[in-house]
Amino acid sequence: MLINGFKAEGDAATVISGVPTTGRISSGALIEREIEFHLGSQSSLRLALRNPDLTTARRIALAVNDFIGVPTAVPEDPATVRLTLPRGFNGNIVDLLTDIEQLIVQTDQPAKIVIDENSGIIVMGKDVRVSSVAVAQSNLTVTIAENPTVVQPNPLSLGVTAQQPSTNLNVNESATALEVIEESVTLQQLVDGLNALGISPRDLIAILQSIKAAGALQAEIEVL
């Protein structure tokens, strides 16, 4: 879960930034129920691509048809390739699947950025591009120091010595001027432009998400 804020507190002071009690789940859930199915008796099947892509689906169909020698595979959409059992496989589509699963197909790598919020790790694919955009980022530093003081009772009051909490809480925010990230042609140029801002990986995560929201990032962001 990705939390959109933080809270820091001592015994006598508290600072809150954003809304620390709300968050977002990065992926959903899939519930499946088993149904009766006999693979060997099928005359046609649909291969579902885990990462849908038109180019990859077409390459799979071409590789299968070249190997079999007859039109056997047809790409139906970015996520589906339909296989029809040809003659010569003894009426068992398992034989066909056994042969074609050994084929090597060059997949088309999508433009994607994978973010691990817990560890602050960011992984970018080689096809990630960004349009020209201006970015300003501020650094927030929170310092908490506890300095409890001793309170003595009044003379002859039969009181006891007590300790009164005292918290020194400082919040320093240093602003950064707008920096321009030029439109990138290669991944190295994109990384150099982001590194020029001199920010930490966790701040970079927020900047990438903001650039995506602005429509200047030509890539999909996946949060683990």
Dihedral over Cα of 16, 17, 19, 24: its sign? negative
Mean pLDDT per segment of 10 residues, for the chain of length 224 residues? Answer: 72 74 68 72 84 88 90 90 81 81 82 78 77 66 63 69 67 59 64 71 77 79 79
- pTM tops 0.85: no
4 vs 19: CA distance, rounded Å: 6
Q: pLDDT value at position 58? A: 92
Domain boundaries, the chain: 42-100, 111-148+161-223
Residue 207 CB partners (closer than 8 Å, separation 6+) = 135, 137, 194, 197, 199
Amino acid identity for residue 64 in this structure: V
Axis-axis angle for helices 93-100, 54-68 (nearest 10): 110
Q: pLDDT value at position 159? A: 67
